Each structure stands twice: as structure tokens, then as C-alpha cells.
């Protein structure tokens, strides 16, 4: 069977036993509203933000009045920029919310000696300036400059105020946003644990408690199933030297396992590609996956990084970039296999990571294990008629056509325990030559 791959992800994820089908990830209370990406629709060259998607902006999170959201979406103006154009300038009045529909934008600050320093790269679906709408007097704290040709949508303060004056709901939302912003939190957005340190004398000590998230995320085990049919004549007669049923079963289970890995990567609900925090997603600096980008990934998952996961073609593209720079990263030994590595962290191939039509792909870096608050796989062992851990084969019966049926099921899921356990390098162009 050609479809059998080495399934590095399945092999390297630590599997945690879930009894009762549900796994709850308790976390400390976080005041930070998740920051998402915005999607757009386009008719010809005209681009419009999907009104509901505005809920991804922290300012509008939880606002579900479609009328208000549509009114806001209608007031966005489309603008085009050429590479090198300045979109917003440091120190100017910040009176716009900006959504990037397409293109890459450099965020630039002032360096220590008056020159420029790059603070980050923004790209498709990112937004900035939206929180400055709450304060009409705020100034831009950075310059943004187009790296590629960009299409952006701009909501001016004036248009925002117009909608604000018409909608009581939006005003309420704004109040709530301001109140939430005032809560004491640490750099990760978690409710602070008050401490006093380095004090002399007899000051009043802060009293504290650790607050938990009241609605923690729950993962239920997902299932991949099929019904395997074997004709009783085949099962009875053609069994020497190989057991027909067993071979049928072996291949079916292999296919199920392949599907399981595919789901762990791509499932919209629990798949790793869809569960990385927005702050943990970066874009390539130039296009191809370079050693510099891999270093950036390592800076995001810096607490005991476990392994990189990339499409084999992405690994080849990365190898080319290394060669171009004249570096030869040494490979590492993983369970007797030589795996390519970067900075001692192995890079495992995984054909399940999609390569888009325009030849772009993603690279994941993760920390694994329950104890280190990493990425874990979830399964349940000890299920009835277990064939392999968390895979069961149950005899269904023989029908009137003499077909013997088996129900083959695999149960699995995976969870990212804290956001900084997983980082993704997006839009790595793997077809760039020269």
C-alpha cells in the first residue's frame, strides 16, 4: 500500500488517556480576548469584509447585531498600495482601523539611534489600529510600510463615530471593552497573581488567589470509522498462507491511521493548523522558508521545543535555502533514524500538511507533553474489542449475501494546553528557485 507514511506526528505525540470521552483543559482566567483573522469576499476587484468576521477584532468581540456589523463593514474603504508605500506614519494621529485584505506589511518602529527597527510583519486577514478607535486622540506608535502590493480596507474614526452615535449596542460594547482593558493582567493576558517583592519594612502584603477560566475548553474524542466487508467464501477458503481477513483489516487500519493524522493536522475543530494562537503565527520574511524564519519559530516556542513538522517539499525548500547561505545543519538521531534538524530540533516530514495551489505551505513547531504544558494527543484505551490502542474492530454480523462485516473505529483528538506550545510559519513559498 503506497499510502502508508511514517506518521511522525502520531509517533511523536505523547498520548494521554481520556476516560469518559471528554478532556477538559483548565486554564487560568484570561482577560485577553482571542485575536482572530478577518475574512473577505470579493466581487471582481472590489473587496468587502464579511460583517460577521468583524467579531474577530477584540473591539467587536461578542457583538452579534448583524445590522451594526453590516453598517460598519459598509463604511470600510478600499485602498491600494505599492511596495514601499507608507500606510501609516509614526506619531501621526491614529484615527483609522485597518484590515489587510491582501499583501504583506512591515511594522516599523524607531531604533535606539534614530534609525528604523522592524517590529513585525502583518499579512492577509491581520488588522491594526482598531483599538485606537476607542481613543480619538491616540497617535500611531509605529510606521507601517507595504512590503508587497497591498489591498487594505480602512475604517475612519469619523465613520466609526457615525455608527457609534446610531447604535446603543455598540456604545455598550465599547464600555465593556474599556472596562475589560482596565483589569489587572500579566503579559500573557492572565489575571494577575498579586505579589510583593524586594520590599523592606512592613508594608501590607497583597492578598491573592488564582482565578480560573470559568468555561474551559473541552475536547471530545473524534472518530474515524468504516465498515469492512469480507465475503465468507474468501474468508473461509483463501487463507493460506495469509489470513485474508487479517490482511484486509491491516490495510483498513493503516488507512484509518493515515486519516487520523490528516485530521490531527487539518480538522477545523481540533486540528493543529487551526488551533495555533494568532500571536504564534508568523509569515516568512521573503517567501521561501529560510533559516531565519525557523529561528523566529524557535523564538516563539522557546520553552523546550520538541520538533518541527513540515511537508517533505517544504523541507527540501528549506534545505535549498540553507545551502544558498552556506550552512549545513547537522541531522539528529531520533529512535535510530537520522532526521534533518535545525538548531538540534528535528524536522519531521508530514505529507498531510496541505500545499496550496500557489505552492505555499506551513511549518509547525511544537512542544509536546502534558507535564510541560505542550501539545498532546488524546485517546482512550481499553475500549471493547480493542485491536490497537484506541482502535477497535467489532464483528457486526453476516448478512444474507454471506458478507461478513466488521466495524473498524479509531478514536482520537489532540489538545494544545497553552498557546505558546505551538507556532506556525505560514505562506512558505516552496516553488521559489533562485
In the complex, the smallest distance separating the C-beta of residue 412 from another protein, rounded to whole angstroms, is 14
Q: How many residues does the chain have?
A: 434
Choices 2-10, 15-23, 151-159, 160-168; region in contact with another protein by CB under 8 A: 15-23
In the complex, the smallest distance separating the C-beta of residue 386 from another protein, rounded to whole angstroms, is 18
Question: Which one among 2, 179, 209, 241 touches another protein, defined by CB under 8 A?
Answer: 209
Question: Which one among 1, 2, 20, 46 touches another protein, defined by CB under 8 A?
Answer: 20
Secondary structure of residue 184 in the 3-state scheme: coil
In the complex, the smallest distance separating the C-beta of residue 65 from another protein, rounded to whole angstroms, is 28
Q: Could you give the dihedral angle defined by the CA atoms of residues 86, 91, 97 and 98, in that order, rounded to the nearest 10 degrees?
A: 20
Binding of residue 184 to another protein (CB under 8 A): no
Question: Which one among 44, 84, 182, 326 touches another protein, defined by CB under 8 A?
Answer: 326
Binding of residue 24 to another protein (CB under 8 A): yes
Pick between residue 264 and residue 341 the one whose CB is nearest to another protein.
Answer: 341
CA atoms within 13 A on the CB side of 201: 2
Sort strands 403-416 and 422-429 into parallel, antiparallel or unpaired: unpaired
Question: Cell digits for 181?
Answer: 482593558
Per-position DSSP letters for 365-377, written without gaps between them: EE-B-TTTT-EEE
In the complex, the smallest distance separating the C-beta of residue 145 from another protein, rounded to whole angstroms, is 13
Question: Which one among 310, 410, 419, 425 touches another protein, defined by CB under 8 A?
Answer: 419
Binding of residue 39 to another protein (CB under 8 A): no
Pick between residue 36 and residue 291 the one whose CB is nearest to another protein.
Answer: 291
Sort strands 127-128 and 116-122 into parallel, antiparallel or unpaired: unpaired
Contact status, residue 414 vs residue 25, Cβ threshold 8 Å: no
Q: How many angstroms separate the CA atoms of 234 and 12, rounded? A: 37
In the complex, the smallest distance separating the C-beta of residue 263 from another protein, rounded to whole angstroms, is 16
In the complex, the smallest distance separating the C-beta of residue 59 from another protein, rounded to whole angstroms, is 23
Pick between residue 213 and residue 254 the one whose CB is nearest to another protein.
Answer: 213
Question: Cell digits for 93?
Answer: 494621529
x/- binding map, residues 217-256, to another protein, per CB under 8 A? -x-x------------------------------------
x/- binding map, residues 104-133, to another protein, per CB under 8 A? -----xxxxxxx-xxx--------------
Binding of residue 136 to another protein (CB under 8 A): no
| Residue bearing cell 502590493 | 149
Question: Which one among 292, 333, 385, 399 touches another protein, defined by CB under 8 A?
Answer: 292
Question: Which one among 164, 234, 245, 298 touches another protein, defined by CB under 8 A?
Answer: 298
**What are the beta bridge partners of residue 410?**
224, 391
Question: Cell digits for 334?
Answer: 531520533
Q: How many angstroms separate the CA atoms of 5 and 1, rounded? A: 10
| Residue bearing cell 473587496 | 47
Q: Which of 219, 266, 249 is nearest to 412 (CA)?
A: 219
In the complex, the smallest distance separating the C-beta of residue 139 from another protein, rounded to whole angstroms, is 14
Choices 25-33, 35-43, 57-65, 239-247; region in contact with another protein by CB under 8 A: 25-33
Widest distance between CA atoms in the chain: 90
Binding of residue 17 to another protein (CB under 8 A): yes
Binding of residue 14 to another protein (CB under 8 A): no
Residues 52-71, interacting with another protein (CB under 8 A)? none
Q: What is the DSSP letter of 55?
A: G
Choices 78-86, 123-131, 203-211, 227-235; region in contact with another protein by CB under 8 A: 203-211
Residue 269: CB partners within 8 Å, gap ≥ 6?
A: 222
Q: Which of 60, 40, 32 is nearest to 131 (CA)?
A: 60
Per-residue b or e along 78-87, where b marks 16 or more CB atoms closer than 10 Å to that residue's CB: beebeeeeeb
Residues 366-385, interacting with another protein (CB under 8 A)? 370, 373
Binding of residue 327 to another protein (CB under 8 A): yes
Contact status, residue 234 vs residue 376, Cβ threshold 8 Å: no
Binding of residue 92 to another protein (CB under 8 A): no
Question: Which one among 21, 62, 91, 136 touches another protein, defined by CB under 8 A?
Answer: 21
Residue 434: CB partners within 8 Å, gap ≥ 6?
A: none
x/- binding map, residues 330-369, to another protein, per CB under 8 A? x-x----------xxx------------------------
Amino acid at each position: 500500500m503506497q499510502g502508508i507514511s511514517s506518521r511522525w506526528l502520531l509517533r511523536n505525540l505523547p498520548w494521554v488517556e481520556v476516560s469518559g470521552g471528554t478532556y477538559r483543559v483548565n486554564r487560568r482566567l484570561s482577560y485577553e480576548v482571542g485575536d482572530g483573522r478577518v475574512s473577505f469576499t470579493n466581487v471582481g476587484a472590489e473587496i468587502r469584509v464579511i460583517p460577521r468576521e468583524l467579531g474577530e477584532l477584540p473591539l467587536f468581540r461578542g457583538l452579534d447585531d448583524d445590522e451594526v456589523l453590516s453598517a460598519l463593514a459598509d463604511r470600510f474603504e478600499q485602498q491600494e498600495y505599492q511596495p514601499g508605500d507608507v500606510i501609516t506614519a509614526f506619531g501621526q494621529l491614529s484615527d483609522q482601523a485597518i484590515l489587510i485584505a491582501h499583501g504583506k506589511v512591515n511594522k516599523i518602529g524607531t531604533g535606539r539611534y534614530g534609525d528604523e527597527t522592524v517590529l513585525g510583519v502583518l499579512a492577509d486577514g491581520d488588522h491594526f489600529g482598531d483599538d485606537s478607535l476607542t481613543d480619538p486622540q491616540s497617535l500611531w506608535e509605529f510606521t507601517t510600510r507595504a512590503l508587497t502590493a497591498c489591498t487594505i480596507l480602512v475604517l475612519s474614526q469619523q465613520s466609526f463615530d457615525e455608527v457609534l452615535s446610531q447604535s446603543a449596542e455598540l456604545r455598550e460594547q465599547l464600555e465593556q471593552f474599556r472596562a475589560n482593558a482596565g483589569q489587572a493582567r500579566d503579559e500573557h493576558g492572565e489575571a494577575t497573581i498579586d505579589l510583593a517583592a524586594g520590599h523592606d519594612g512592613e508594608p501590607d502584603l497583597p492578598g491573592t488567589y488564582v482565578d480560573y477560566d470559568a468555561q474551559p475548553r473541552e475536547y471530545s474524542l473524534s472518530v474515524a470509522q468504516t465498515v469492512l466487508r469480507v465475503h465468507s467464501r474468501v474468508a473461509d477458503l483463501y487463507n493460506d498462507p495469509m489470513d485474508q481477513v487479517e490482511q484486509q483489516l491491516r490495510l483498513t487500519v493503516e488507512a484509518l491511521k493515515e486519516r487520523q493524522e490528516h485530521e490531527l493536522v487539518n480538522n477545523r475543530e481540533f486540528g493543529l493548523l487551526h488551533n495555533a494562537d494568532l500571536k504564534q503565527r508568523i509569515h516568512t520574511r521573503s517567501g521561501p522558508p529560510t533559516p531565519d524564519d525557523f529561528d523566529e519559530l524557535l523564538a516563539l516556542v522557546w520553552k523546550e521545543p520538541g520538533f518541527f513538522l513540515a511537508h517533505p517539499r517544504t523541507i527540501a525548500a528549506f534545505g535549498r535555502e540553507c545551502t544558498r547561505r552556506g550552512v549545513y545543519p547537522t541531522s539528529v538521531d531520533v529512535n535510530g533514524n537520522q532526521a534533518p534538524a535545525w538548531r538540534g530540533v528535528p524536522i519531521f516530514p508530514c505529507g498531510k500538511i496541505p500545499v496550496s495551489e500557489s505552492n505555499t505551505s506551513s511549518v509547525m513547531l511544537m512542544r509536546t507533553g502534558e507535564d510541560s504544558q505542550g501539545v498532546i494527543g488524546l485517546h482512550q484505551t481499553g475500549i471493547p474489542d480493542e485491536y490497537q490502542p484506541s482502535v477497535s474492530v467489532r464483528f457486526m454480523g453476516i448478512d444474507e449475501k454471506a458478507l461478513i462485516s466488521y466495524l473498524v473505529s479509531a478514536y482520537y483528538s489532540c489538545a494544545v494546553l497553552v498557546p505558546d506550545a505551538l507556532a506556525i510559519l505560514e505562506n512558505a513559498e516552496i516553488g521559489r528557485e533562485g
